[in-house]
Structure 1
């Protein structure tokens, strides 16, 4: 390939999409300005091998609800790594986790005191049906108390450069756990390096330890438009939140597209907020995959003048 053709390729990847890593409002690369970004809240998208497509909305810390559990799982797997074929150690359900099962104010999973479940199963129950009581059980198992575990969460966030993030609990139930789309995208990129976490967030459901029924994944975008994860969040103060990852076919290879959408329809109901986050994310994912594929197909069609 000649130098002239190489320059065109760089223009397609670097100029059409561009690379931006700033935290300001509506900081979009040229080729991403036409994407259907959410009108409210904030969002950030990154493409493997390309870079950041930019950010939408003011990147100020907002409640992130159960998206918090991605950091909980990330810290647990850093402290207690699992091979993909190993369910991990058996953990005994304590009285607190069992009592919290009956809460009607938050998302929980029914477990009984003394019940024994593996680390892998507890991670599934944390990330798939979004069990707040299970996230806190894992925190106590790891660090002795939720408070001590939160210190680990904030330490991990600092190491990842998440300068505008504060965790105050392992589940996201507290509205004081706050972050930005840019910061959570840094976590998403790192979390997807862990094969066990990657497998879990791609699961459509997991088994209810109380009934044996299937508990569906709260991320209803799974299996659509290449979506393979990651985690939902919703509450009245947070509105709807979604950290997502999808695959996109580009010429002869497949790339990951990762994104975070926060603060959708905040101060409404958790259900309304979550649906808004899913809807806005779905549109953004489909458009980004289509645009990326078009850019790479155009790149591939450039004749080699050598």
Structure 2
């Protein structure tokens, strides 16, 4: 590959410069730094809590966010993440009908009352998980994706490791009580951040009420277990949780004025405490901070030439939206973006392969870091293409 030149400078209400370098590929995932918020008492009735801005991952508030606790049905954030990944890969379609097994139909706790042998679309099962926290729907989807819930749980824990998380372990796809099944507020926020890359998920988690099997004798009324979807402006997800051991939990997300936040509380004593503390966290975020969008998801940020590829110009795009976060009233100084393309890239490459990273800095500290990926499949060049390129290089 030829070395890339410096990308043009442009203004986003501030001077932003970009440079491109090459580096060895070391797996790096989400990195967050805690802001000075220890003096705030926003979650006094919960065991742990965290508040982050989604694009940057910056922590705005933290209370015991690394304490391992049962996540209850917030477990389904990971279940939904794997469902959305399967849809994106083409392994599932929303209109595909999934046949319900005896195991799935026999799940206790929250359910949408699936019957053994019943067929329901992925679209409706996802709705049943996101809105009604259906344990039966979760197991049905787990079995469809992995063949069994046990195999799906292996996928869940593999994804946990991929995200760089060390304080989460799942034993099921539902969050029903199980020994050695735990997570943290911090880890749940990171999983929520990953899930929200799939913008379509909020089409489900924002539903307050709907119906399954509408117009039939077995019509089922769905009401969202997350009441803030209806009563807090901007909230459009994500997932509640409750067991006697976990108490009341909620991972919530809201978007206002282009700024998306994620707030998590675990171990609240009552549902009122849970909702009040999430509301306080969100109020704090939108009263104190602003964001500046820099890139949209899948936006081309650079390209490079590759002699041995079937297409010489390979576009590199953002894997997620990119923003900077700053306290309201801040005079924005010079902001720099640095694009790093890894050296150890080999052909062939599938669409979505991570080939580098984009860092946003304030000149000293890294403000955000986002994976860069290729926007389409790249194969080896054939002999004719190589011959033409070699011939042209002489002129």
Report the TM-score, using the length of structure 2 for normalisation: 0.61
Give the match for residue 55 of structure 1: 62
> Which consecutive unaligned segments of at least 5 residues does structure 1 have?
8-19, 23-27, 266-271
Residue of structure 2 in register with 1:46 after alignment: 52
Query: Residues 180, 297 of structure 1: CA spacing in aligned structure 2 closer, same or farther, 3 A cutoff?
Result: closer
Post-superposition shift, 1:46? Answer: 1.0
Partner residue in 2 for 1:10: none
2:32 corresponds in structure 1 to 21
- Are residue 242 (structure 1) and residue 250 (structure 2) matched? yes
Matching residue within 236, 258, 262 for 2:262: 258
Give me the whole-angstrom Cα distance separating, in 2, the residues matched to 1:47 and 1:91. 36
Q: Secondary structure at the match of 1:60?
A: coil
* Mapped pair 1:30 → 2:36: yes
Indicate the residue corresponding to 1:181 in structure 2: 185
Find the partner of 1:164 among 164, 167, 170: 167
Secondary structure of the residue aligned to 2:115 is coil
Give 1:47 deviation, angstroms: 1.4
Report the counterpart of residue 275 of structure 1 in structure 2.
272
* Structure number with higher strand proportion: 2
Would the alpha carbon gap of residues 149 and 290 (structure 1) be closer, same or farther in structure 2, given more than 3 Å must change? same
Does the 8 A contact of 1:241 with 1:261 survive in 2?
Answer: yes
C-alpha deviation, 1:82, in angstroms: 7.7
Kept in 2: contact 1:136–1:171 (CA 8 A): yes
Residue matched to 1:194: 198
Q: Which moved more, 1:177-186 or 1:281-290?
A: 281-290
For the aligned residue pairs, the C-alpha RMSD in angstroms reads 2.8
The answer to whether the 8 Å contact 1:46/1:257 transfers is yes
Structure with greater proportional helix content: 1
Match of 1:268 in 2: none
Larger Rg: 2
Deviation string for 1:6-64 (max 9, x for gaps)?
A: 79xxxxxxxxxxxx936xxxxx5226743623343111111145622142126221100
**1:228 maps to 2:262:** no
Distance 1:77 1:172 in 2: 19
- What is the CA–CA distance in structure 2 between the aligned matches of 1:78 and 1:48, rounded to whole Å? 19
Query: 1:263 & 1:179 partners in 2: Cα distance?
Result: 12
Could you give the per-residue CA deviations for residues 168-189 of structure 1, whole angstroms, max 9, x where no partner exists?
0000002432101111111111
Per-residue CA distance 1:119-167 (angstroms, 9 max, x = gap): 1211111121011111111111221211111000000011011110000
**Matches of 1:111 and 1:235, distance apart in 2:** 22
> How far off is 1:289 after superposition?
1.5
Structure 1: how far apart are the matches of 2:40 and 2:50? 14
- Contact in 1 for aligned 2:75/2:174 (Cα 8 Å): yes
The list of structure 1 runs, each at least 4 consecutive aligned residues, that deviate by more than 4 angstroms after superposition, is 293-297
Answer whether contact 2:238 2:251 (CA < 8 A) is retained. Answer: yes
Number of matched pairs: 264
**Contact 1:68 1:172 survives alignment (8 Å):** yes
Structure 2's unaligned 5+ residue stretches are 1-12, 16-30, 292-325, 334-395
Equivalent in the alignment of 1:95: 102
More deviation, 57-66/205-214? 205-214
Measure the CA separation in 2 of the matches of 1:245 and 1:280: 13
Contact 1:168 1:174 in 2 (8 A): no
2 CA distance for matches of 1:178 and 1:31? 26
Query: Which structure has more RCO (C-alpha within 8 Å, separation ≥ 6)?
Result: 1
Hey, what does 1:78 align to over in structure 2? 85
Give the distance between the partners of 1:35 and 1:291, measured in 2 at CA.
Answer: 15
After superposing the two structures, state which structure 1 stretch, 279-288 or 205-214, moved more: 205-214
